[in-house]
Amino acid sequence: MNLKPDSKVLVQGITEPLGSIHAARMKAGGTNVVAGVSPGHGSEKLHDIPVFDLIEQALSAVGQVDVSVIFSAPFEACDCAFEAIAAGIRQIIIITEGVPPLDMVRLVRKAEATETLIVGPGTPGIIIPGKLLLGTHPADFYTKGPVGLLGRSGTLTYEIALELTNAGLGQSIALGIGGDAIVGSSFPQWLQILDEDDHTEVIVLVGEIGGFSEEAAAKYISEAIDKPVIAYVAGRHAPKGKRLGHAGNLIAAQISAGNPDKVSPSGADPETAQSKISAFKQAKIPVADRPSQIPELVKKALKHGVKKK
C-alpha cells in the first residue's frame, strides 16, 4: 500500500449520487482529488473537480494518479477497474456494492497479474485520520492514534471507530475489505500491512457472518502477526438462511452434496458467528461480546505490549 496525504486521487463515477456526495467530502477534508471520470460528462466540473469521459484524458490533464475510488453502478464497476489498471493505476477502491461475483473473478485475476491492490467492492474505503479519506467514512468519528481498524462493512466500522475515539483510542488507519462475497483483498493481506505499519500498535478486527474471512484471519494471526489483535463478530443472533444485505453474509449450503472442504475445525456450523468466534478464541485472540467492550480490551492489549504467542 502506498498512500500519503498528497496522493493524487481519481474518482470514477463522480457524477453518480454516491460519488458526488463523497467526492465533495473527500476534497473538503483535504484529500487531493485531482479529477473525476464519468462517461458522458466529460468537460464538466463538479465541486471544482474536472470531469472526463476517459481516464486517459484525465491523466493527460493531471498526470499519473496514485489511486482510483470507484462509485460507478454495479455492472460498470468492473469495467471501470479494468480501465484504471490499463491506465497504470495500481491501487483501486470499489465503494459500490453488488458487483457480480463473476466480474470480480475476472478482475481479481487481472489484479494478481499486474500486482494491483484492490479494496472492495461494497467497502466504505480507507481513512487515514487527519491525512486521507478515500471513501465514505464520517471523518468526525475518527482521530489519529495507535489502532488499526479492519472490518468488512461500512456503518459497523464507523460504530467501532466511534467507540474507540470516545475512549481516547485513535486510529492509524481504518478500512473495510467489503461486504460482497468476492473481494479484492483479504484480511490476511491487510493484517500483514498493519503489522508492518509503524503507526499501528494494536489491531481491531471486526467480522460478521458469512464466508471464511475471519477463520482465515485467525489462522494467519496465529502464524504470522506479532501485534496484538482484538476481534468482534456481528451476527451471533442472525437468523440463518436470510439475506441481510451483504452478498457476503449468505450462509449458503449450496451444493446438494455438501461442501467438501468447508467443515469448520471448531465443529461449529461453518460461516456462523459461533464458528468465527471459536476460531479467534482458538488462536488466543480476545473477542469482545459487544462494541463497547472493545476499548477496554484494546487498552489491556496496549498495556501488555507485544502479544505473547
The footprint of another protein on residues 208-267 (CB under 8 A) is 208-209, 211-212, 216, 234-239, 241-250, 252-258, 260-261
| 286 lines the binding site for another protein (CB under 8 A) | no
Nearest-Å Rg of the Cα atoms of the chain is: 19
Q: Which residue's CB is nearer to another protein, number 227 or number 272?
A: 272
Q: Which three cell numbers stand for residue 9?
A: 486521487
Size of residue set near another protein by CB under 8 A: 87
Tell which phi-psi region holds residue 242, choosing left (phi > 0), alpha (psi between -120 and 50) or beta.
beta
CA 229 from chain centre, in angstroms, equals 17
Task: Evaluate whether 160 touches 186 at the Cβ level (below 8 Å).
Answer: no
Q: Which three cell numbers stand for residue 165?
A: 475515539
Task: Evaluate whether 109 touches 116 at the Cβ level (below 8 Å).
Answer: no
Among 7, 8, 11, 13, binds another protein (CB under 8 A): 13
Q: Which residue's CB is nearer to another protein, number 62 or number 250?
A: 250
| 42 lines the binding site for another protein (CB under 8 A) | no
Q: Which residue's CB is nearer to another protein, number 5 or number 245?
A: 245
Q: Which residue's CB is nearer to another protein, number 65 or number 119?
A: 119
Task: Evaluate whether 275 touches 269 at the Cβ level (below 8 Å).
Answer: yes
Among 8, 10, 12, 16, binds another protein (CB under 8 A): 16
Q: Is 246 annotated as catalytic?
A: yes
Backbone angles phi, psi at 6, to 5 degrees: -100, 15
Among 1, 46, 162, 302, binds another protein (CB under 8 A): 162
Between residue 50 and residue 89, which ones bind another protein under the rule CB under 8 A?
71-75
| 159 lines the binding site for another protein (CB under 8 A) | yes
Greatest Cα-to-Cα distance within the chain, rounded to the nearest angstrom: 58
Backbone angles phi, psi at 167, to 5 degrees: -90, 10
| 17 lines the binding site for another protein (CB under 8 A) | yes
Taking CB under 8 A as the binding criterion, the range among 48-56, 57-65, 178-186, 195-203 that sits at the site for another protein is 178-186
Among 54, 155, 196, 306, binds another protein (CB under 8 A): 155
| 137 lines the binding site for another protein (CB under 8 A) | yes
Q: Which residue's CB is nearer to another protein, number 60 or number 259?
A: 259
Looking at the chain, list the stretches that DSSP marks H as alpha helix, in order from N- to C-terminal side. Answer: 17-28, 55-62, 74-86, 101-114, 155-166, 187-196, 213-224, 273-282, 294-304
